[in-house]
Structures are given as structure tokens and as C-alpha cells.
């Protein structure tokens, strides 16, 4: 009886502590990407979140998005210090993402492989991120 309780308690502890350490691959907001413990770090250092696939949902307010070539640059609507670049592969038609800056959308959802780069914000080097999108189904604009 005692050994069964001990085994059950041990199994419970393993499950509990494993579950508490897992971070979700779904991120709501650019600030929450920047605050992830596996994405925070100094310039010049590849962070553990890089090379992994994440889904990011970003609120749109009409003035927090810019387009350049096959990329969108999206700023956090509450803090313009945080910007994410969303880079689309050649296989994704431009019509899929060009209307993002036209307004009428409340948010966007993008799934892509994260790649980091260094950028200066207010004369301080910060690690920022690119979402590389390879499939049209990995990007959607939401009303």
C-alpha cells in the first residue's frame, strides 16, 4: 500500500513539474513574444526560441503595420518599441497579405519559423524576430 502511494505521488510530481515548465507555441501579442524566457537575451546570441515554429496573433489598429516587398513589419499596438517582421516565401501570393495594412481587420494570425536578428531601439541593442512563413494557410487576417 505504501509503495503504491509513493509511486502515484512520484508520477504526479513528474507530470506536474513537466506541465509547469512547458511554454505554449501559441503567442498572443508581440510583447508576449519578447517576454518569453526562451526569446529574451542579449544581442549577438542565438536564443532557444529561434528555429522553432510558433503561432503569433497580433492586434491591428490601422497604423501598426507596414509593408515592404514580401514582408510585413508589425508593431505592437500598445508599445511601438516592439516590431516583428513577417517574411513570406515566394510560394505565397502577395494578394494573401497585401490587404493587411488596408484596415478593416482586427488581428492577424501567423505561423512561422522564428529567426532572430539584432536591432537598435533608443540607442540600445535588442534582439528582435522574423517569422518566416512558407505556406499560405499559415497566415490569416481576422475581422
C-alpha distances in Å from residue 68, one per residue of 2, 3, 14, 56, 87: 66, 64, 48, 20, 10
Select the CATH number that applies to the domain covering 24-142 from these four: 3.40.190.10, 2.40.50.140, 2.60.40.1180, 3.30.70.360.
Answer: 2.40.50.140
CA distance 71 to 21: 33
Encode pLDDT of 94-135 as tens digits: 999 988 888 788 999 999 999 999 988 788 898 899 999 999
Please give the model's pTM, rounded to 2 decimal places: 0.77
Give the mean model confidence (pLDDT) for residues 61-88.
88
Residue that wins the pLDDT comparison between 65 and 81: 65
Percentage of the chain exceeding pLDDT 90:
46
What are 131's strand-pairing partners? 86, 114
Give the mean model confidence (pLDDT) for residues 44-67.
92
User: Domain segments of the chain: what residues?
Assistant: 24-142
Amino acid at each position: 500500500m505504501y509503495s503504491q502511494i509513493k509511486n502515484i505521488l512520484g508520477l504526479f510530481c513528474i507530470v506536474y513539474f513537466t506541465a509547469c515548465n512547458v511554454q505554449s507555441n501559441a503567442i498572443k501579442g508581440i510583447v508576449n513574444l519578447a517576454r518569453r524566457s526562451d526569446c529574451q537575451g542579449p544581442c549577438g546570441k542565438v536564443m532557444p526560441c529561434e528555429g522553432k515554429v510558433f503561432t503569433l496573433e497580433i492586434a491591428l489598429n490601422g497604423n501598426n503595420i507596414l509593408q515592404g516587398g514580401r514582408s510585413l513589419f508589425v508593431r505592437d499596438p500598445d508599445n511601438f518599441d516592439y516590431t516583428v517582421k513577417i517574411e513570406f516565401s515566394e510560394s505565397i501570393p502577395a494578394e494573401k497579405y497585401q490587404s493587411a495594412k488596408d484596415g478593416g481587420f482586427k488581428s492577424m494570425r501567423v505561423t512561422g519559423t522564428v529567426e532572430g536578428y539584432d536591432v537598435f531601439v533608443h540607442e540600445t541593442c535588442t534582439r528582435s524576430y522574423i517569422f518566416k512563413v512558407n505556406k499560405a494557410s499559415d497566415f490569416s487576417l481576422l475581422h
